[in-house]
């Protein structure tokens, strides 16, 4: 009887020791998912780039599209550029906006 109680106690103690503290959970989330502040900064930069691309579309000389999936806006000035420059690109909904 005493061994069964000791076994149950040791088992419970072992599983309690395996659990992570709140700080350990928070630290692991930062390591696996990334720091929330950095993720927010990346998201803001991505949104700013998207807004710049959309605002640059009227300056494009040509927009090359696939009817439903892709769009690429190109600008080319043969006097100052050696090759066309991609000023905006997108797929799906962004391609429709371009």
Confidence (pLDDT) at 98: 66
Of 51, 83, 84, nearest to 73 (Cα)? Answer: 84
Task: Report the pLDDT value the prediction gives residue 89, as an integer from 0 to 100.
Answer: 83
| CATH architecture observed for domain 21-97 | 3-Layer(aba) Sandwich (3.40)
CB 64 within 8 A of CB 74: yes
Task: Check residue 28 and give its pLDDT.
Answer: 86
Question: Taking the domains of the chain in order of start, what are their residue ranges?
Answer: 21-97
Average confidence (pLDDT) per 10 residues, the chain, 98 residues = 83 85 85 80 88 81 83 86 84 73
CA dihedral 34, 37, 40, 46 (to 10 degrees): -80
């Amino acid at each position: 009887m005493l061994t069964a109680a000791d076994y149950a106690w040791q088992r419970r103690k072992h599983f309690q020791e395996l659990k992570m503290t709140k700080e350990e959970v928070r630290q692991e989330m930062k390591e696996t998912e990334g720091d929330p502040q950095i993720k927010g900064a990346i998201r803001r930069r991505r949104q700013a780039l998207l807004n710049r691309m959309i605002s640059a579309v009227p300056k494009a000389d040509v927009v090359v599209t696939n009817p439903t999936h892709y769009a690429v806006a190109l600008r080319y000035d043969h006097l100052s550029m050696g090759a066309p420059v991609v000023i905006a690109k997108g797929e799906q909904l962004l391609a429709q906006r371009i």
